[in-house]
A and B are shown apart, each in its own frame.
Chain A
Amino acid sequence: MSRVMLEVKELTTKYITRFRENVYAVDHVSLKVEEGKSLGIAGESGCGKSTLALSLMGYYFAPLHYTSGEIIIDGRNISGMDCDDVRKAVLGSEISYIPQGAMNSLNPTLKIIRFIEDVIKAHDPKISRKEIYELAKDRFMTLGLPADVLQKYPVELSGGMKQRTVIAVSVILSPKVLIADEPSSALDVTSQKMVIKMLRDLMEKSIIKSMIFITHELPLLYNVTDDIMVMYAGQIVEKGTAKQTVFDPLHPYAKGLMGSIIVPEYGLRGVKLAAIPGVPPNLKNPPTGCRFAERCKYVLPECRTHSIDFRDAEEGRAYRCILSEEHLREVYKND
């Protein structure tokens, strides 16, 4: 068994609203990523994917607050650490984050090299600017980005280029874990492919040791990651390898998500898309029992009253549903 790069045990974080209400956007989430592996997190908007990404970094700022659970990066427990310490010692070098809208995450008044200086100097204040430039140039060359990008302003770059620059800046210190939060959602398919190739290269050249990839595009997730987790209303509802989750989903919500896949392949034209009716529950007061019960086609009376555990299935999979594996497969077959 290879080294575990990131282990999260029962992590719970909450938002505190203006009216002192608690919103548990990440609710008892456990996950594990091994060296050289990538984990994908799928789910629709508002199910807590991005909050999970922020929570994993251990760097909390209002209105997001840490409640309970552990985050262990390569054997080091960072949960409960002071935010300033986390920023200096963990962010960038141990765990790094690619934000969702890379277009808007670069300050338009600074050259790209300034962002890199900023990151490196936070960890090593004595380093000279020349050294930083050499380092940055080297890293940009390895990643196939032209070195003159370093002396440009963000407005001079195209969308796809900006996104790749942001990725290069976030991995400048070779973090052990990289969290990519929808890195390609605002790009067209061609730039998306370049971004994905770059992330692949990062893994292959072992600049990063492991990756967590968050997106709602399932075909993309299937091609990029080894394992997939499906998230719904702050909870993990299904876990398995990419192939298992896409072709043989267990949880009804995961099954529903697979109904929204559109790919240009023979025989998939005119297949009826199955949209999941309804909206995710309000997490201010989540429903007792299964959170998906309101929208589930196969709902039973017990679903609404009993809280449902995340239980293990065969071949290392796990899911959160009251029905047994065989029963679920049987039900899907009859659809």
Chain B
Amino acid sequence: MTDDCKLCLSATGLTKIFGLGRQKCVAVDHVDFSFNEGEIISIVGESGSGKTTLAKMLLGLISVTEGTVYYKGKKRDISTQKKKQEYWKNIQAIFQDPFSSYNIFNKIDSVLLDCIYMRGGRRLSHAKKVELMTEACSFVNLKFEELTNKYPFELSGGQMQRLMIARIFLLKPRILLADEPTSMIDACSRATILEMLMKLRNETGMTLIFITHDIGLAYYVSDSVYIMERGKIVETGCADDVILHPRQAYTRRLINDVPKIHEVWDLSTV
């Protein structure tokens, strides 16, 4: 029974097919998984392996062709807009491209205020709202006084991505889906972003789903790893098992493709 309670997000036979007839393209092909609460999961695969499509289905942004998604053991119901918004209180995402994640007409204040409203803080006093926003910004090492009255495009890529984490800090979802959160920013800010995500997870105990093509990152952050090839999950297991003792040729290839510093990087196998 206790095991059932810990189950957070799961799916059976999840499939997404784009197009019809001869143009049919199976992006995600009968994927099964179950994520436990508080776990850090990585979904790894090369471009075009269906990682982002899977993420969008989990978020309810695109329809599911076949299969079911379960949230906390119960079938997910997002048939109406109201139910969808209810669901989004529990699951939130950080996307790859920080530059296109924001509405360019909205100021940063309103980005953060929206999050407070979503948590039912519409009736709070102005001072309390500012206090919440300041707290969220200081969590990600940004200064709210400097950000107020600015537009998102006035920030750098790393700062935008940090602001995205500040949003998550205010929303406190049960599941955070991070779709390549560090691929567009440099290695130095990457360390900062990862550090903040880990801190946030430790504070709130949420489930963190990382989607990445960099198996090094997956190894560094996650408890369990799912390897995805052409829409299918080909290998799963805990990070140490999968990455240090890969069983599938595809996993081995992904590991070989990452430059290393202690071992020789074999360039002949491309």
Do they bind each other?
Answer: yes
Q: Is B214 an interface residue (CB 8 A)?
A: yes
> Chain B 203-235, CB within 8 Å of chain A: the 1/0 string?
000000000011111111000000000000000
Q: Does the CB pair B270–A262 fall under 8 Å?
A: no
Residues of B within 8 A of A265 (CB): 260-263
- Those of A213-241 within 8 Å (CB) of chain B: 216-220, 222-224
Q: In the complex, how many angstroms separate the beta carbon of A243 from the nearest chain B beta carbon?
A: 9
Residues of A within 8 A of B47 (CB): 159, 188, 190-191
Minimal Cβ-Cβ distance residue in B for A242: B261
Q: In the complex, how many angstroms separate the beta carbon of B120 from the nearest chain A beta carbon?
A: 34
Is chain A's interface secondary structure helix, strand, loop, or mixed overall? loop
Residues of A within 8 A of B267 (CB): 193, 196-197, 200
Q: Is B66 an interface residue (CB 8 A)?
A: no
Q: Does the CB pair B220–A45 fall under 8 Å?
A: no
Minimal Cβ-Cβ distance residue in B for A160: B47
Q: Is A146 an interface residue (CB 8 A)?
A: no
Q: Is A259 an interface residue (CB 8 A)?
A: yes
Q: How far is the CA of A255 from the CA of B155 in the complex (A)?
A: 27
Q: Does the CB pair A257–B187 fall under 8 Å?
A: yes
Q: Is A276 an interface residue (CB 8 A)?
A: yes
Q: Is B5 an interface residue (CB 8 A)?
A: no
Q: Does the CB pair A222–B259 fall under 8 Å?
A: yes
Count of chain B residues near A, Cβ 8 A: 43
Given known contacts A223-B259, A260-B191, A268 and B220 CB-to-CB distance under 8 angstroms: yes
Of the candidates B158, B217, B243, the one whose C-beta lies within 8 Å of that of A45 is B158
Q: Is A273 an interface residue (CB 8 A)?
A: yes
Q: In the complex, how many angstroms separate the beta carbon of B84 from the nearest chain A beta carbon?
A: 31
Q: Does the CB pair A263–B258 fall under 8 Å?
A: yes
- Those of B46-65 within 8 Å (CB) of chain A: 46-47
Residues of A within 8 A of B256 (CB): 193
Given known contacts A44-B188, A188-B47, A217-B259, A269 and B240 CB-to-CB distance under 8 angstroms: yes
Q: Is B130 an interface residue (CB 8 A)?
A: no
Q: Is A62 an interface residue (CB 8 A)?
A: no
Q: Is A125 an interface residue (CB 8 A)?
A: no
Q: Does the CB pair B156–A189 fall under 8 Å?
A: no
Q: Is A274 an interface residue (CB 8 A)?
A: yes
Residues of B within 8 A of A268 (CB): 219-220
Q: In the complex, how many angstroms separate the beta carbon of B242 from the nearest chain A beta carbon?
A: 10
Q: Is B239 an interface residue (CB 8 A)?
A: yes
Q: Does the CB pair B191–A266 fall under 8 Å?
A: no
Q: Does the CB pair B258–A264 fall under 8 Å?
A: yes
> Chain A 241-280, CB within 8 Å of chain B: the 1/0 string?
0000010000000001101111111101110011111000
Q: Does the CB pair A44–B186 fall under 8 Å?
A: yes
Q: Does the CB pair B216–A263 fall under 8 Å?
A: yes
- Those of B242-270 within 8 Å (CB) of chain A: 243-244, 253-263, 265, 267, 270
Given known contacts A45-B157, A189-B46, A264 and B260 CB-to-CB distance under 8 angstroms: yes
Q: Does the CB pair B219–A264 fall under 8 Å?
A: yes
- Those of A150-200 within 8 Å (CB) of chain B: 159, 186, 188-194, 196-197, 200
12 contacts between A and B (CB under 8 A): A189-B46, A191-B47, A217-B187, A217-B259, A218-B187, A219-B259, A264-B258, A268-B219, A269-B220, A273-B191, A273-B195, A275-B195
B interface list, Cβ under 8 A from A: 46-47, 141, 156-158, 184-192, 194-195, 213-220, 239-240, 243-244, 253-263, 265, 267, 270
A interface list, Cβ under 8 A from B: 44-46, 159, 186, 188-194, 196-197, 200, 216-220, 222-224, 246, 256-257, 259-266, 268-270, 273-277
Known: A45-B188, A263-B262, A264-B215. 7 other contacts (CB 8 A): A44-B188, A189-B257, A190-B253, A193-B267, A196-B267, A264-B258, A277-B141
Q: Which 8 pairs of residues, A with B, have the shortest CB-CB distance?
A: A275-B191, A216-B186, A273-B191, A44-B188, A188-B213, A260-B191, A189-B257, A275-B192
